[in-house]
Amino acid sequence: MKRYSIFSLARNAANYHKDWGPVWRSPEPKAEYDAVIVGAGGHGLATAYYLAKNHNMTNIAVLEKGWLGGGNTGRNTTIIRSNYLQDESMAIYELARSLYENLSQELNYNVMFSPRGVLMLCQTEHELRAFKRTSHANRLAGTEARMIDRAEVKRLCPIINDRDDCRYPILGAYYQPRGGTARHDAIAWGYARGADAMGVDIIQNCEVVGIDQNAGRITGVRTSRGEIKTTKLAVVVAGSTTQLMDMAGVRMPIESVSLQALVSEPIKPVIDVVVMANTVHGYMSQSDKGELVIGGGADPYNNFSQRGSFPAVEHTVTALVETFPIISRLRMLRQWGGTVDMTGDRSPIISMTDIGGLFVNCGWGTGGFKAIPGSGWAFADTIANDRPHPIAAPFSLNRYMIGHSIDESVAAAVAH
Amino acid sequence: MSGQPYRLPANVGSGTTGRILDRSRRIAFSFDGKSLSGHPGDTVASALFANGIRLVGRSFKYHRPRGVIGSGADEPNALISVGESGRHEPNQRATQVELYDGLVSKSQNNWPNLKFDIGQINSKFSRLIPAGFYYKTFMWPQSAWMFYEHFIRNAAGLGTAASEPDPDTYEHMHATCDVLVVGGGVAGLAAAQSAAAAGARVMVVDECARLGGLADSSSGLIESSPQTEWVQSTVSTLAAAENVHLMTRTIAAGHYHHNWCLLLERVTDHDPSLAIQGAPRHRLWKVRANQIVMATGALERPLTFANNDRPGVLLASAARIYVNRYGVSPGRRGVVFTNNDDAYQTALDLTRAGVPLARVVDVRTDPRGELVEEARAAGIEVVTGMAVTNVDTVAAGAKIQSVKVAPYKAGSRIGGREERIECDFVAVSGGWNPAVHLYCHTSGKVKFDEDLQSFKPDRSFDQITPVGAANGTYDLDGLISEASNTGAAVAKKAVGSKVKRSKSDRPLASSPKAGKLEPVWFVPATGALNEGNKHFVDFQNDVTAADLELAAREGYRSVEHIKRYTTLGMATDQGKTSNINALGVLTGALQSAIPQIGTTTFRPPYTPISFGAIAGTNAGNRFLVVRRTPPYEWHCENRADFEPIGQWRRPYCYPKPGDSRHDAINREILSVRNEVGLLDASTLGKIELKGPDAAKLLDRVYTNTFSTLKVGKGRYGLMLNEEGFLMDDGVTVRLADDHFLMHTTSGGADRIAGWLEEWLQTEWSDLKVYVTPVTEQWAQFAIAGPNARNVLENLDGDIDFSADSFEFMSMKVGRLTGYPVRAFRISFSGELSYEIATPSNFGHSLWLALLEAGENHGIQAYGTEALHVLRAEKGFIVVGDESDGTVTPLDLGLGWAVSKKKDDYIGKRSLERAYLAAPKRKQLVGLLTQDPQEVLPDGAYAVAELKDKPPMEMIGQVTSAYWSPTVGRSIAMALIKDGRNRLGDVVDFPLDNGKVVKATIVDPVFYDKEGAKQNV
Ligand SMILES: Cc1cc2nc3c(=O)[nH]c(=O)nc-3n(C[C@H](O)[C@H](O)[C@H](O)COP(=O)(O)OP(=O)(O)OC[C@H]3O[C@@H](n4cnc5c(N)ncnc54)[C@H](O)[C@@H]3O)c2cc1C
């Protein structure tokens, strides 16, 4: 792997950048691997990276039906925060957030983690109480975040509507200064490059179409590029989870819905922080390119289309025009959708299954980008050791059997 | 024409130029502070051309000087800001901004000014900053990214946002039609004509101010006359037809499921005085069309040669459009560079208008189309087998002086003799791409067409049919016949048997026979250092051919990776001019053919649409319209301090002059405890269930039994989700055998109605029961306190409120001071209490009547906060406070309301799961702080063991905490692990200010444990 730095950039400039090699190989699938990961999204790639890095498992493959990073990892609005309500959530999201802090250096790939601060507005008494509760819980868990008042909200985000007579006057906000955003593609690419350099085969355009098992143990997968044998299979396919697990005969407590996002045309910076307004269902930040990055609630029906409907967009945009009046004359450049994998308690599943060698990581729904490093870390450990990593353990499938929900819908209507 | 040096005379030779201009009038406008003039009909782009201004903007990354390239929606370069303060709007395409008097426009992305822009320095470093350079650097030291990022952010972005709120208004329209024709060019009009003749209701939309599309600038005749004549007569026929709605300045922004189309009509942008008079600036149309005819035409693609971005290089079609339509010359002397016949029309039109042309440079060795011959016959110099390889500029790249031309052979390096041709503009054409965007929004598929060297529509699941250039049909007669037939066919599909038989009167057309196009994706520069030159593919995002090759070389081989790595096609034009050229460049780099490389996804909108339009009238004071209870005005008059609850606004308390919130709340509470209070409870959810299976439904959705309830009686019920967690509660009363009235929480009203419907529609479709939400049909007031009965008895009516006749948890229907009412004897305060419901219309009057009747009994209105304290004093829960989606009825000590006998109800099985049935769960308890004055903060957590610093193990949290004036001290409710077994224990709550509050765990009922007060 060629190291990236200002110096290597300068060296290569001399030769018009003709000497850069591929960031990852395009290998043919081997007949057999020690472990196979299905899905080259952020979670699958991070899992591969940490399997190789932390557990020395390098004879492994990541199979991707399309192009790596092309699922929700390449479609999301990149909000990163760890101020979740439940203990179990705080643990995994904070592990992830702290890994983000030096991920660029770790991967030698600038993932542009930008802890510009995340504000979750409080616009009703009820919301204020809920976030106060979260703030108490976070503080005692050691997660850094605090309640701020309207004046500080305005100072952090001058374009916000802070009028007393607006529909939902701002009562304050829950603020995580070290939350922020990162460049989504770079997360996928950086992990892919790192994993590839350690020998992991990342095989794109390779769709898994069947899962083979014998006597309750995984024996391999069938793919659009032939059969591949393995005894450890990790399914990390977000919106496609139910379809994949169905191939192994496992019914998942997951519903797939469309979640949309949109961007404005690029403009000079107007907003430095990420603002989430849950009462009115909209959130906004500004990318380094200058686009306002906007999202809201999910479309309210199940589907696999990776497209949404306009009413969801209308709802979100209306809320944000109300929240940030100056955006009225800016324009929507592009809207898109991703298929998100929703669980009943809005928390993920990182789990072993009843089938030997079959592991599953899914259910990140509307908010799993922020979790990628932590999830990959804990999941790799689970796969390598055939037992749940302590941080992953509460997120096992079994929790639905015993009723140990980790309900995050309590804290925020849509968790991004 | 002084001041407009590039304006052409109206009449030249046998033709005219500036067809749509009103030359008799002048319009004053400004660009970067400079006063200029144009004519009605001009766009900012054409007026700038007329005034000799070619340098219009700076590019995104390298800040290279840029001019106008196109004439419409595809313009990548000429982005300007228009308007001032609240009406300031950035990033507008100068090619689409119609000129109006007093228009103020500004260039963007430069400092200190357009001519001398510091950012140009990026050009000098350009070798250091190839595609994706930022992924490779800015990583040291670790903490510095945000420092670098600050500069990157300020350098990025195009224009600036308005500094003031938008003064204009927007509105939404809803429409249906049989046939929606998108695009009002010749194909669209022909389709509309035949569809209308067949009797269909037709809508025709076009983004331009005038219909006709490229009819004024393409070759070919209709019925032996210029196309514009046919357009004119067709438009007037259509305009007169009752079943046709013509819309200009309207884009079809998006195509969604089931032929739902989003249109944006720009109503006042061309004349803001209309907005000042009150017209909406934009109208967003939501149109459900039975059939859509997509006649969106085609977009010309540029050619990729060295420095092809210099101001003065423009599309060949644009060059002739500026001449024909706007009467401006793109320059003093031009060169046409092409790989197809169409650009010869430009050569001919320019020559006819007297614009000097140095040469037509055609890469094809032996072009023989009819237009080519016509050009030759007109004396235009045509060189073949040659290409423009570079342009020479002066004025720091802002002005073209000459082009280099050299022999060209596809796939090989440029060699041979190189010639320099003096000129100041270059009209380029690389062929035309069908505008398939709309077709693809709902995943219609496209296929690559070898003749066009572009993608055209292939198949779609929706009722959308492409015609004309949008379908890759460029020959005029073929296009008209295709459009005409399609119009008739889809009309028939839409109107079925009602179709009118009209004899096909499609016009006959003729157009010059075109020769074959030769794909040219990349023209190398001459000389050894080809690499030193920039060949732009995506002008707006400054993506060069070398960038694309670099991406491919680095292994970003999927077209999506390439797009994301280089930012190709991600600018405000969404790659309209660049996508196909990029694929062409990549054929070399990836050693793959275009169809194998594939396209990126087309997403709505076609061109950007304003957020204001999306919000429509639902912004400002119509945003999530306030739901008001019937006595709302009384609340306002009586200084209610409101709080938003969902979309409702409810009085939180009613401070009297000089009262603090705290004073008001305490006063209200004590009035209920000691005399009587009146609460507006109208927001309480009310759902009527009617039908033979109503009781069965209730038995399934509540944990307890309702089928045994007697008519006229009420019962408190708990509703769980499938997970076994509490989601709603309330009292349901039986109005008749088959008729129940369910009360839900205020916040749950809509959700619960939806929940019941979902079960009935998806799981229990056999149950015969109707669910009707009636929350807003009824005003409902609680009269609570020792004097409640006296107040009610003070009013005329036929209801006996006496203790014997009107038992706790029962209801009566009757009249009260003449109003029809439902009276319930229920209590959420622990006092003697009734709730009186009356149809909303009577709500305000009844409220006043109750206040009057209570005057001598000390009645006071109380708000939601007093309500909350009153119930907390009694240990009553509020769903959403004491419960949070992880709490079961047993956790709350409400096991008595959970039936052990019923076979099933939602959540029953879940409740039996190990974790939910476990003994030491968090349980509802009361808390008394050691310092009675100290009120615990809401949501504060108790810890198992105090430590100096986090993390500390948490054992539970405060769910509600208040100052209780009744008890005279602070009280709190909390969910504490194993709480019921820990009564009497003291637990610690470490707060954020470092303070630790100690509290004793107690029973959660703080007042009147026996319930004596409510049973009088
Ligand atoms: C619009 C939107 C906004 C969001 N905003 C945020 C946010 O602000 N913050 C946040 O934290 N999270 C956000 N999320 C959620 C976040 O994007 C996801 O939780 C996360 O990216 C999931 O990553 P993943 O690796 O699990 O899935 P993905 O990235 O979806 O990867 C799954 C991969 O599996 C592949 N696959 C599927 N089936 C097969 C098969 N049969 N064979 C082989 N491969 C297969 C897919 O092609 C895909 O590449 C958002 C999501 C969306 C859609």
Confidence at residue B529, expressed as pLDDT on a 0 to 100 scale:
56
The Cα of B220 is separated from the nearest Cα of chain A by a number of Å equal to 36
Cβ burial of A366 (10 Å; 0-12, 13-18, 19+) is: buried
| A364 CA closest ligand 1 atom index | 19
pLDDT exceeding 90 applies to what percent of chain B?
A: 91
Architecture in CATH of B685-871 = 2-Layer Sandwich (3.30)
pLDDT at A137: 96
- Judgement on whether residues A262 and A142 belong to the same structural domain of the protein: yes
Domain-located, residue A282: yes
Quick: pLDDT tens for B669-681.
Answer: 999 999 999 999 9
Please work out whether the CB of residue A368 comes within 6 Å of at least one atom of ligand 1. yes
How close is the Cα of A413 to the center of ligand 1, in Å? 20
**Of A211, A366, A372, A414, which is best to mutate to test ligand 1, by the most ligand atoms within 8 angstroms of its C-beta?**
A366
- Examine the domain organization and report whether A239 and A267 are in the same domain: no
Could you confirm whether domain B305-430+515-526 is CATH 3.40.120.10? no
Residue A135 in contact with partner chain B when CB distance is under 8 A: yes
| pLDDT of B1 strictly over 50 | no
Listed residues A318, A342, A366: the one ending a domain: A342
Name the 3-class secondary structure at B621. helix
Q: Do B574 and A333 touch (CB under 8 A)?
A: yes
Question: B919-1016: which CATH topology?
Answer: Elongation Factor Tu (Ef-tu); domain 3 (2.40.30)
Write the pLDDT tens digit of every residue in B187-240.
999 999 999 999 999 999 999 999 999 999 999 999 999 999 999 999 999 999
What's the rounded mean pLDDT across residues B385-394? 95
The CATH number, out of the four listed (3.10.20.440, 3.30.70.100, 3.10.640.10, 3.30.420.40), of the domain defined by the range B11-137:
3.10.20.440
A186: contact with B, CB 8 A cutoff: yes
**Which numbered atom of ligand 1 lies nearest the CA of A42?**
25
List the single residue in A with minimal CA-CA distance to B957.
A133
pLDDT value for B852: 97
If you count residue pairs, one on A and one on B, with CB atoms under 8 Å apart, how many are there? Answer: 318
Q: Where are the domains of chain B?
A: 11-137, 174-298+434-502, 305-430+515-526, 685-871, 919-1016
Per the structure, the count of domains in chain A is: 2
Tens of pLDDT, residues B15-48: 789 999 999 999 999 999 999 999 999 999 999 9
Q: What is the pLDDT of residues B911-954, one digit of tens each?
A: 999 999 999 999 999 999 999 999 999 999 999 999 999 999 99
Say if residue A196 is in the same domain as residue A335.
Answer: no
B128 and A10 Cβ atoms separated by less than 8 Å: yes
Alpha-carbon Rg for chain B in angstroms: 38
**Which of A36, A50, A65, A72 has most ligand 1 atoms within 8 Å of CB, for mutation?**
A72
A34 plus A140 within the same structural domain: no
Q: Chain B residues with CB inside 8 Å of A105's CB?
A: 139-140, 142
- A174: domain CATH number is 3.30.9.10
Within 8 A by CB and 6+ apart from B471, the residues are B294, B434, B456, B457, B482
Least confident of A46-50, B110-114, B534-538: B110-114
CA of B93 to the centre of ligand 1 (A): 35
pLDDT average, residue stretch B312-318: 98
Say yes or no to pLDDT of A415 above 60: no
The predicted pLDDT at position B124 comes to 84
How is B317-329 classified by DSSP, letter by letter?
HHHHHHHHTT-B-
**A85 in a domain, yes or no?**
no
Closest Cα in chain A, distance from residue B753 (Å): 16
Task: Check residue B142 and give its pLDDT.
Answer: 81
Any CB–CB contact under 8 A between B915 and chain A? yes
List the single residue in A6, A114, A332 with the smallest CB-CB distance to B605: A332
Q: Whose CA is nearest to atom 12 of ligand 1?
A: A367
| Residues B636-651 as b or e (16 or more Cβ within 10 Å = b) | eeeebbbbbbbebbbb
Is A80 touching B (CB cutoff 8 A)?
A: no
Please, which residues have CB within 8 angstroms of residue B403's CB and are 6 or more apart in sequence? Answer: B335, B337, B388, B389, B390, B391, B392, B420, B421, B423, B426
- The residue contributing the CA closest to ligand 1 atom 13 is A367
State both tokens at B341: 């016949």
Does pLDDT of B415 surpass 80? no
Residue-level pLDDT at B120: 86
Residue B528 in this model has a pLDDT that exceeds 80 = no
CATH number at residue A236: 3.50.50.60
pLDDT one-digit tens code per residue, A135-189: 999 999 999 999 999 999 999 999 999 999 899 999 999 999 999 999 999 999 9
Assess whether pLDDT exceeds 70 at residue B876: yes
Cβ contact (<8 Å) for B644 and A167?
yes
| A140·B952 Cβ contact <8 A | yes
pLDDT in tens, B137-169: 998 888 889 999 999 999 999 999 999 999 999
User: Given the CA of residue A63, which atom of ligand 1 is nearest to it?
Assistant: 43
**How far is B834 from B790, CA to CA, in rounded Å?**
11
- Mean pLDDT (whole number) for A64-80: 97
Residues of A in contact with B992 (CB under 8 A): 135-136, 139, 146
Cβ of residue A409 closer than 8 Å to a chain B Cβ: yes
Q: Is A11 on the interface with B (CB under 8 A)?
A: no
Window 337-376 of B, Cβ < 8 Å to A: none
A111-124 pLDDT, tens digit each: 999 999 999 999 99
Interface contact flag, B165 A328, Cβ < 8 Å: yes
**Phi, psi (deg, nearest 5) at residue B119:** -55, -20
If you count them, how many residues does chain A have?
416
My answer on whether A54 and A195 are in the same domain is yes
Closest CA to B408 of B400, B418, B399, B396: B418
Pocket test for ligand 1, best of A47, A68, A76 (most atoms within 8 A of CB): A76
B263-290 burial by CB neighbour count: b if 16+ within 10 A, else e? bbbbbbbbebebbeeebbbbbbbbbebb
Gap from CA of A239 to ligand 1 centroid (Å): 7
Complex ipTM: 0.97
Same domain, A168 and A273: yes
Which is it for the CA torsion B110, B111, B115, B120, positive or negative? negative
Question: Which residue has the CA at smallest separation from atom 9 of ligand 1?
Answer: A79
Let me know whether A141 and A247 are in one domain: no
Helix (H, G, I), strand (E, B) or coil at B968: coil
Q: For B76, what's the count of Cα atoms within 13 Å in the CB-facing half-sphere?
A: 31
Interface of B with A in 435-464 (CB under 8 A): 442-443
What spacing in Å lies between the alpha carbon of B330 and ligand 1's midpoint? 49
What is residue B1015's three-state secondary structure?
Answer: coil
How far the first Cα of chain B sits from its last, in Å, is: 97
Q: What is the mean pLDDT of residues B614-618?
A: 95
A131 has pLDDT over 60: yes
Q: Is pLDDT above 70 for A410?
A: no
Chain A: residue whose CA lies nearest to B281: A329
Interface test with A, best of B564, B643, B955 (most A CBs within 10 A): B564
pLDDT one-digit tens code per residue, B819-875: 999 999 999 999 999 999 999 999 999 999 999 999 999 999 999 999 999 999 999
**Does residue A181's CB lie within 6 angstroms of at least one atom of ligand 1?**
no
Q: How confident is the model at residue B527 (pLDDT cuts 50, 70, 90)?
A: low
Shared-domain flag, residues A207 and A301: no
- Asked whether A384 lines ligand 1 (CB < 6 A), one says no
* DSSP β-bridge partners for residue A222: A210, A227
Q: What is the mean pLDDT of residues B293-297?
A: 98
Residue A410 lies in a domain: no
What average pLDDT is seen over chain B?
95
Query: How large a percentage of chain B has pLDDT more than 70?
Result: 99
Question: pLDDT of B192-207, one tens digit each?
Answer: 999 999 999 999 999 9
Q: Give the Cα separation of B118 and B121 in Å (integer).
A: 6
Residue A413: pLDDT band (50, 70, 90) is very low
* Residue A142 sits at the chain B interface (C-beta within 8 Å): yes
Residue A67 lies in domain: 26-79+184-254+345-402
Q: pTM for the complete prediction? A: 0.96
Identical topology for domains B11-137 and B305-430+515-526: no
* CB < 8 Å from A in window 607-636 of B: 608-612, 614-616, 618-621, 623-624, 626
The Cα–Cα gap between A136 and B951 comes to 12
- What are the tens digits of pLDDT across the range A349-373? 999 999 999 999 999 999 999 999 9
Q: Is residue A4 part of a domain?
A: no
Shortest Cα distance, chain B CAs vs residue A221, angstroms: 24
- Ligand 1: which atom is nearest the Cα of residue A365? 19
**pLDDT at B2 exceeding the cut of 70:** no
- Cβ–ligand 1 contact at A43 (below 6 Å): yes
User: Which of A196, A331, A396, A399 should be substituted to probe chain B, the one whose Cβ sees the most B Cβ atoms within 10 Å?
Assistant: A331
Q: Do A140 and B260 touch (CB under 8 A)?
A: no
Average pLDDT over residues A369-394: 98
Nearest by CB to residue B644, choosing from A124, A268, A322, is: A124
Whether residue A93 lies inside any domain: the answer is no
State residue A272 phi and psi, 5-degree precision: -95, -30
Assess whether the C-beta atom of A283 lies below 6 angstroms from ligand 1.
no
Does A260 share its domain with A175? yes
On whether both A277 and A337 belong to a single domain, the answer is yes
Question: A244 with A352, same domain?
Answer: yes
In angstroms, the separation between the Cα of residue A380 and the nearest Cα of chain B is: 26
Using alpha carbons, select from B17, B60, B18 the residue that is nearest to residue B43: B18
Boundary (domain end) residue, out of A301, A316, A342 = A342
What is B174-298+434-502's CATH superfamily? FAD/NAD(P)-binding domain (3.50.50.60)
In chain B, which residues have their Cβ closer than 8 Å to the Cβ of A324? none
Contact B443 A307 (CB under 8 A): yes
Q: What is the CA radius of gyration of chain A?
A: 21
Examine the domain organization and report whether A389 and A303 are in the same domain: no
Residue B12's pLDDT is 81
pLDDT in tens, B422-452: 999 999 999 999 999 999 999 899 999 999 9
